[in-house]
């Protein structure tokens, strides 16, 4: 991880990253307690770690990594994402929107507001995504 990524991650933690990572972790725990929600809990915990330190990482479709659809990136993943959206996704997206609005009011907070806005699609549709280093994601897009 570059020095710039480390600095941005430290500033991110102060500008809402810690609270949003905790929100994702709470969603993961609640889903895990239901037993049936364990697949969602795993995805939410991965994204909680990504939400805590997002700079230097990227979320990409798992099918883009492997070149083929798997259980989470196919039709069952779509059904899982719809269930996630109804149970937890909407309130995580709303929290990212609230942080983004608060940060956008300040000039220095605009880049972090933008980062919160980038988490909204992931909040609504997390199943079938993988977190990879940003360089690897850039190589996937280029290649």
| Domain boundaries of the chain, sorted by first residue | 3-142
Strand 57-61 and strand 129-133: the pairing is antiparallel
Question: What is the value of pTM for the model shown?
Answer: 0.85
Mean pLDDT on 90-114: 93
pLDDT in tens, 18-61: 999 999 999 999 999 988 888 889 889 999 999 999 999 998 88
């Amino acid at each position: 991880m570059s020095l710039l990524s480390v600095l941005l991650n430290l500033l991110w933690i102060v500008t809402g990253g810690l609270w949003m990572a905790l929100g994702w972790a709470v969603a993961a725990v609640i889903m895990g307690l239901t037993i049936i929600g364990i697949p969602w809990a795993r995805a939410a915990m991965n994204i909680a770690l990504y939400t805590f330190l997002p700079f230097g990482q990227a979320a990409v479709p798992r099918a883009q990594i492997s070149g083929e659809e798997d259980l989470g990136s196919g039709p069952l993943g779509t059904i899982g994402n719809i269930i996630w959206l109804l149970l937890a996704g909407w309130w995580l997206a709303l929290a990212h929107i609230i942080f983004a609005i608060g940060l956008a009011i300040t000039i220095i907070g605009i880049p972090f507001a933008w980062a919160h806005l980038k988490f909204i699609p992931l909040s609504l549709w997390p199943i079938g995504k993988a977190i990879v280093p940003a360089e690897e994601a850039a190589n996937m897009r280029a290649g």
